[in-house]
């Protein structure tokens, strides 16, 4: 029996939307304040996913000005294949509203956006009926008919279903026709511990809809399951006729209330049908894989030497990425970052990072800053980040937690230096109800490669339960004065054999 590990896409890749074209599956996720926007993945077995690009990869497609708050920006896309083309609709909050783009190849290039100013709800969905009508359903749950080519709204908005009576935030609608019946899948209960998926069915795209008597058909609220906040999903029928659900969830750690630090991730669960209703199977960290032919994907390279002509799609920046501030050609084989903002508190700070995808890892970068200041940061938002930076021959560790900002340690060094961050998860314990989800160690490497730990910090302060919002950690390099250059960036998963207790032996500040 072949198995797979959940999540199938780890790290801050929430709100998955999936479609199948022949034997290929494509999936898109929310990206919020990060640029480029809407990462898109490919799979042939629903288990192994490879990022093939970003849908919104040009400033003309994605406007994220400095006023865009963290956890603002791009919300909940819907990805569909219709009439030989790929269609993606999403919302840019608070700037840009609802937009729709198309492509012949999901790896790009995607079109310039069509704006739909009269579609006012987030989480827009697309579905076509046999008459060629295009139905756009959105959070609320409201619905209009649209012309997807012009963005014109062709009908008055109608409320078609509001989910379970009393449940908050009916959102994330997806409309499907199965046989002669139309199914409306929604999320409700909010994206925290009460998150859930419910479903209704009707004879037409606009209903009338009857709710499933077993609603919610997915929720882990009030359970001891290691995967929580399950909701916001999209159904897909595989080539062998089986049905599957891609959905978001989190993996909280530590004591109570539990803190998740990686963001909302993408999980996979089987779906069966009973009495005309979808039934979602058990969700667990290890599950039986689809019976599709196995299609393993290459592991993401641990190290980037910045020798390519452009950054891999996995690299993201904050709100924009001006080429004059982020360069691979200024010093060949190095990534050059030029400062725009004076600190990581600045919404427009020059930053290039990767989503944190595992709980136990080491990130290392060789940084040269002869005429600048910058380094390596673990970022959740402008008010919650830890950093180790190089400035005028000193390595410094800084922490920002809400209104508090502090330099914690420093050490004099010479020349380029390898900056290093490690994160180590903590297991839950009934006798430690306030145990942290993980610890974050920051420092640099001595000439002999020894990790000189300057600070060890509680990871809960870089969690969604503390900071709020919809994103997870991103670990990357930044510049806050002049220019810095990075020769390489190395991201490696750690095992228990790598663990060293340094809590009682930190370098004296």
- The distance of Cα 247 from the centroid of its chain, to the nearest Å, equals 12
Q: What is the per-residue burial (b if ≥16 Cβ within 10 Å, else e) of 481-504?
A: bebbbbbbbbbeebeeeeeeebee
Pick the catalytic residue from 33, 123, 125, 171: 171
Q: Tell which residue, 187, 189, 197, has the closest CA to residue 168.
A: 189
DSSP label of 427: -
For residues 237 and 246, give the distance between their C-alpha atoms in angstroms, rounded to a whole number.
11
Is residue 50 within 8 A of residue 42, CB to CB? The reply is yes
Tell me whether residue 143 is exposed, middle or buried, using C-beta atoms within 10 angstroms of its C-beta: 0 to 12, 13 to 18, 19 or more: buried
Distance separating alpha carbons of residues 387 and 400, to the nearest angstrom:
9
Name the catalytic one among 15, 125, 188, 436: 15
**What's the CA angle centered on 246, arms 240 and 252, to 5 degrees?**
140
Active site residue 15: yes
Alpha carbon distance 234, 199 (integer Å): 11
Whether the CB-CB separation of 101 and 111 falls below 8 Å is answered with yes
CA distance 451 to 389: 15
Neighbours of 169 (CB within 10 A): 18
In the chain, count of helices (H) and strands (E)?
1, 36
Return d(Cα 124, Cα 359) in angstroms, integer.
32
| Residue 214: exposure state from Cβ atoms within 10 A (0-12, 13-18, ≥19) | middle
Catalytic residue list contains 498: no
Give the start-end residues of each E strand in 72-192.
Answer: 73-82, 85-93, 97-103, 114-115, 125-128, 134-138, 142-146, 158-159, 171-178, 181-188
d(CA 13, CA 266): 6
**What are the structure tokens assigned to 185, written together?**
């899948």
For 462, phi then psi, to 5°, come to -115, 50
CB 174 within 8 A of CB 199: no
Quote the radius of gyration of the chain (alpha carbons, Å): 23
Residues recognised as catalytic: 15, 171
């Amino acid at each position: 029996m072949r198995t797979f590990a959940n999540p199938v896409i780890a790290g801050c890749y929430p709100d998955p939307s999936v479609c199948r074209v022949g034997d290929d599956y494509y999936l898109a996720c929310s990206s919020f304040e990060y640029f480029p926007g809407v990462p898109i993945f490919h799979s042939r077995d629903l288990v192994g996913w490879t990022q093939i690009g970003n849908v919104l990869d040009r400033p003309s497609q994605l406007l994220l000005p400095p006023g865009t708050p963290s956890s603002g920006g791009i919300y909940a896309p819907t990805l569909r294949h219709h009439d030989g083309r790929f269609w993606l609709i999403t919302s840019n909050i608070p700037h840009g509203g609802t937009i729709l783009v198309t492509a012949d190849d999901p790896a790009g290039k995607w079109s310039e956006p069509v704006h739909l100013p009269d579609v006012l709800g987030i989480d827009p969905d697309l579905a076509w009926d046999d008459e060629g009508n295009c139905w756009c359903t959105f959070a609320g749950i409201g619905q209009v008919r649209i012309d997807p080519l012009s963005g014109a709204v062709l009908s008055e908005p109608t409320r078609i279903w509001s989910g379970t009576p009393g449940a908050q935030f009916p959102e994330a609608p997806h409309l499907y026709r199965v046989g002669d019946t139309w199914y409306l899948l929604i999320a409700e209960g909010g994206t925290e511990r009460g998150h859930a998926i419910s479903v209704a069915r009707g004879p037409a795209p606009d209903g009338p809809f009857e709710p499933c008597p077993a609603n919610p058909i997915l929720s882990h609220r009030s359970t001891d399951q290691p995967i929580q906040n399950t909701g916001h999903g999209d159904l897909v029928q595989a080539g062998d006729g089986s049905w599957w659900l891609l959905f978001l969830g989190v993996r909280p750690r530590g004591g109570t209330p539990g803190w998740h630090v990686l963001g909302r991730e993408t999980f996979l669960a089987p779906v069966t049908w009973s009495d005309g209703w979808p039934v979602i199977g058990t969700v667990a960290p290890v599950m039986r894989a689809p019976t599709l032919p196995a299609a393993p994907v290459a592991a993401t390279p641990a190290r980037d030497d910045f020798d390519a002509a452009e950054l891999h799609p996995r690299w993201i920046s904050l709100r924009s990425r001006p080429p004059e501030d982020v360069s691979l050609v200024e010093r060949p084989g190095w990534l050059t970052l030029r400062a725009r903002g004076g600190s990581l508190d600045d919404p427009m700070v020059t930053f290039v990072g990767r989503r944190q995808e595992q709980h136990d890892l080491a990130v290392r970068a060789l940084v040269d800053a002869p005429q600048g200041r910058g380094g390596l940061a673990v970022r959740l938002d402008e008010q919650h980040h830890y950093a180790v930076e190089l400035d005028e021959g000193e390595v410094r560790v800084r922490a920002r937690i809400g209104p508090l900002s502090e330099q914690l340690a420093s050490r004099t060094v010479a020349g380029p230096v390898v900056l290093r961050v490690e994160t180590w998860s903590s297991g839950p314990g009934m006798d430690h109800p306030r145990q942290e989800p993980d610890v974050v160690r920051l420092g640099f490497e001595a000439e002999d490669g020894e990790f000189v730990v300057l600070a060890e910090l509680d990871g809960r302060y870089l969690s969604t339960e503390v900071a709020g919002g919809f994103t997870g950690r991103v670990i990357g390099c930044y510049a806050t004065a002049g220019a810095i250059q990075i020769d390489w960036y190395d991201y490696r998963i750690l095992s228990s054999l790598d663990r060293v207790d340094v809590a009682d032996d930190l370098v004296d500040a």
